[in-house]
């Protein structure tokens, strides 16, 4: 299926590494123009190099999305360079701690909420006037199934992502009349750098044998008997961003191998 993404301007937050970087290259391979956002200039430069290597056009959109003023400046500069933003992917996130809630640092909690929830809201606020004026636009927010079913040792992260889900549904009702679609893609366990890093810590803590036993037990919880790969998320996001998904808005699409089947 030709998703007809060629020539579209796509802004991806948190695109300096991991899932965001993978999505940037994926959209670029379809002919889209990519605005690469991250707070890390080195990560942005690396992603831009990968986008160009894939034959795409990229723009440096380095900014702190927790600051609304910075976001508005970034959006204005991006649209001046690439044209109106057709697709916004709110992907930026951080998991500062993997511990029980009462043992978490309140400042770290505030930082996670600032990046995940307020970052999503700031970027949406800044791009929507242009989308409404043009009568078209796609906003895809990346959540997590931990926000849908709960996850021990990720209470702060899950709470922030849960806010993103609620924000998505409310916003979709407000802007649908302007032909703007707002949806959530909600990954389950995915072999992203974040998960790989957590697994390495777990391996060191448990030892190889106990870690392998734990992983086998985890795998049995997935009907498809596999952990997701980043391409599974990228492919889903590109579909939701295309006109093939024009009748889908206000929805949460889990990409989780059947781990959680939430109604």
Residue 210 lies in a domain: no
Residue 211 lies in a domain: no
Residue 200 lies in a domain: no
Phi, psi of 134 (to 5 degrees): -85, -15
CATH number of domain containing 160:
3.40.50.720
Average pLDDT of 89-100? Answer: 88
Residue 100 lies in a domain: yes
pLDDT digit string, tens, across residues 106-140: 999 999 999 999 999 999 999 999 999 999 999 99
Residue 98 pLDDT: 78
In our burial notation (b when 16+ CB lie closer than 10 A, e otherwise), range 69-105 reads ebbbebbeebbeebebbbbbbbbbbbbbbeeeeeebe
Residue 86 lies in a domain: yes
Residue 157 known to be catalytic: yes
Phi, psi of 27 (to 5 degrees): -65, -40
Asked if 49 contacts 106 with a C-beta cutoff of 8 angstroms, the reply is no
Q: What residues make up the domain containing 89?
A: 9-188+228-255
Residue 92 lies in a domain: yes
Residue 263 lies in a domain: no
Cα gap 141→251, rounded to integer Å? 10
Cα gap 10→33, rounded to integer Å? 6
Percentage with pLDDT > 90 across the chain: 72
Residue 77 lies in a domain: yes
Asked if 262 contacts 220 with a C-beta cutoff of 8 angstroms, the reply is no
Q: Domain total for the chain?
A: 1
Residue 263 pLDDT: 64
pLDDT digit string, tens, across residues 239-254: 999 999 999 999 999 9
């Amino acid at each position: 299926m030709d998703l007809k993404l060629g020539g579209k301007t796509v802004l991806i937050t948190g695109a300096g590494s991991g899932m965001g970087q993978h999505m940037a290259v994926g959209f670029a391979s379809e002919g889209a123009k990519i605005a690469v956002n991250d707070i890390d200039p080195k990560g942005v430069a690396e992603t831009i190099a990968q986008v160009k290597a894939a034959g795409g056009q990229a723009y440096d959109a380095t900014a702190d999305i927790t600051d609304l003023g910075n976001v508005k400046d970034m959006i204005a500069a991006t649209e001046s360079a690439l044209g109106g933003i057709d697709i916004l992917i709110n992907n930026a996130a951080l998991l500062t701690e993997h511990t029980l809630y009462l043992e978490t640092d309140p400042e770290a909690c505030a930082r996670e909420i600032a990046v995940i929830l307020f970052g999503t809201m700031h970027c949406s606020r800044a791009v929507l006037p242009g989308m409404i004026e043009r009568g078209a636009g796609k906003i895809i927010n990346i959540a997590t199934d931990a926000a849908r079913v709960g996850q021990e040792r990720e209470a702060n992260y899950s709470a922030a992502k849960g806010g993103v889900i609620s924000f998505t549904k409310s916003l979709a009702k407000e802007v649908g009349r302007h032909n703007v679609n707002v949806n959530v893609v909600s990954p389950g366990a995915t072999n992203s750098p974040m998960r790989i890093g957590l697994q390495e810590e777990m391996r060191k803590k448990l030892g190889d044998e106990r870690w392998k036993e734990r992983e086998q037990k985890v795998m049995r919880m997935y009907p498809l008997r596999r952990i997701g790969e980043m391409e599974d998320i990228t492919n889903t996001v590109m579909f939701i961003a295309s006109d093939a998904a024009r009748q889908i808005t206000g929805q949460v699409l889990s990409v989780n191998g059947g781990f959680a089947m939430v109604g």
